[in-house]
């Protein structure tokens, strides 16, 4: 840093244009405004009145009904896209081609192919493409991620995720595309490089005749012999959000409905033991080691979306690859597409490309 430059350019807030003033846009706007490292300059929506309302008519945030207006502003270095999925590809492409870093709401695009096109374009242009997988920025997922990465859990044996959600059954997407992206993006985020999905099978049911799967199960064999499983369900009056990540050394249990004990780390493991003596010969034996349980204090009350916005700003400034980059978005889309293929193929196991 140049000592003669008190207000160093690299530390100036990143100028941002936000596209989309609908369901998620206001949340992003609020966080861009609150974050010291971002400067929300534009809010773009076909409905400019709505756009203006999102920022309470603040005079320092300009409103436009077309992204191109914001892209003409040289102070805009980054674009955040919170519009319906079908528009992600053209908007993100336009922003990237105009030299801007891009943050896209999930899903990255409507197809894996479109997502790949965006991820490649960003790579080619040396720009940041980030996917807003919000859950990956919660304190509990960060903690799980560190546990896995540090080797504390040992070898991953299985991951079991249950997401039973109060919510509207939707006519255009099934329960997999609606709910599973959360589980899949967390899975993608926490799994170590040597333990990756190698296939996926989807089972669905529509017992209420809605025309879409309302109850669904995803089974995901992982390289190395482990397995992940996801339960998604729209039809339950009670809400469940649980994920178990079992390793050979420790097991992490995440219960999102239990704020006072959201994450429990069991110092417990299961391992194969060599049988001894004639009585044991008949059976393979496992040792169940049951040790202490730790419930780490997690910072409650911090909004994950603030961490998303901060990560985006930092990557935009430094060129660093974000924790959840475009390729993470592509991998989720590949899994969801393979799940749809499975669903249409009598729940056959569908391979997914390496690294997906």
With binding defined as CB under 8 A, does residue 246 bind a second copy? yes
With binding defined as CB under 8 A, does residue 58 bind a second copy? no
With binding defined as CB under 8 A, does residue 301 bind a second copy? no
Smallest gap from residue 23 Cβ to a second copy (A): 12
Check if the beta carbon of residue 96 is closer than 8 Å to that of residue 321: no
Taking the least distance from each CB to a second copy, the nearer of 201 and 315 is: 201
With binding defined as CB under 8 A, does residue 128 bind a second copy? no
With binding defined as CB under 8 A, does residue 170 bind a second copy? yes
With binding defined as CB under 8 A, does residue 201 bind a second copy? yes
Check if the beta carbon of residue 234 is closer than 8 Å to that of residue 167: yes
Q: Which tokens belong to 304?
A: 């994950």
Closest CA to 185 of 356, 12, 41, 347: 356
Among 286, 319, 320, 353, which residue interacts with a second copy (rule: CB under 8 A)? 286
Smallest gap from residue 101 Cβ to a second copy (A): 32
Closest CA to 69 of 42, 88, 50: 42
With binding defined as CB under 8 A, does residue 211 bind a second copy? yes
Smallest gap from residue 164 Cβ to a second copy (A): 9
Among 11, 34, 86, 208, which residue interacts with a second copy (rule: CB under 8 A)? 208
Q: Which stretch binds a second copy (CB under 8 A): 73-81, 129-137, 289-297, 314-322?
A: 289-297
Check if the beta carbon of residue 108 is closer than 8 Å to that of residue 230: no
Q: Which helix (H) or strand (E) holds 131?
A: strand 129-132
Check if the beta carbon of residue 229 is closer than 8 Å to that of residue 222: no
Q: Which tokens belong to 272?
A: 């194969």
Smallest gap from residue 71 Cβ to a second copy (A): 30
Triad 332, 124, 306: Cα angle to 5°: 50
With binding defined as CB under 8 A, does residue 152 bind a second copy? no
With binding defined as CB under 8 A, does residue 68 bind a second copy? no
With binding defined as CB under 8 A, does residue 84 bind a second copy? no
DSSP assignments along 130-182, one per residue: EEE-GGGGSHHHHHHHHHHHTTTT-SEEEEEEEEE------SSS-HHHHHHHH
């Amino acid at each position: 840093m140049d000592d003669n430059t008190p207000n160093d350019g690299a530390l100036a807030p990143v100028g941002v244009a936000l596209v989309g003033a609908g369901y998620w846009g206001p949340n992003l706007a609020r966080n861009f405004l609150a974050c010291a490292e971002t400067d929300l300059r534009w809010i773009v929506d076909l409905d400019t009145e709505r756009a203006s309302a999102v920022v309470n008519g603040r005079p320092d945030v300009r409103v436009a009904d077309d992204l191109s207006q914001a892209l003409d502003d040289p102070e805009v270095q980054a674009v955040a896209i919170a519009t319906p999925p079908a528009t992600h590809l053209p908007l993100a492409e336009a922003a990237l081609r105009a030299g801007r870093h891009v943050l896209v709401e999930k899903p990255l695009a409507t197809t894996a192919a479109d997502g790949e096109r965006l991820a490649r374009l960003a790579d080619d242009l040396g720009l940041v493409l980030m996917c807003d997988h919000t859950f990956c920025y919660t304190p509990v997922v960060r903690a799980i991620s560190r546990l896995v990465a540090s080797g504390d859990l040992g070898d991953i044996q299985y991951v079991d995720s249950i997401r039973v959600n109060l919510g509207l059954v939707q006519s255009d997407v099934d329960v997999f595309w609606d709910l599973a992206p959360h589980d899949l993006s967390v899975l993608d985020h926490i799994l170590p490089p040597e333990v990756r999905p190698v296939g996926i099978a989807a089972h669905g049911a529509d017992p209420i005749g809605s025309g879409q799967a309302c109850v669904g199960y995803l089974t995901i064999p992982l390289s190395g012999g482990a397995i992940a499983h996801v339960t998604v369900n729209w039809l339950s009056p009670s809400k469940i959000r649980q994920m178990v990540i079992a390793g050979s050394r420790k097991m992490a249990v995440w219960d999102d409905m239990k704020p006072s004990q959201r994450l429990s780390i069991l110092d417990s493991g299961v391992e194969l033991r060599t049988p001894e003596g004639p009585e044991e010969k008949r059976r393979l034996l496992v040792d169940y080691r049951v040790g202490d349980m730790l419930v780490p204090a997690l910072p409650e009350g911090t909004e994950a979306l603030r961490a998303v916005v901060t990560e985006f700003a930092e990557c935009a400034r430094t060129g660093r690859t974000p924790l959840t980059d475009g390729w993470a978005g592509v991998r989720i889309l590949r899994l969801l597409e393979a799940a749809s293929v499975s669903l249409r193929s009598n729940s056959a196991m569908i391979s997914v490309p390496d690294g997906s």
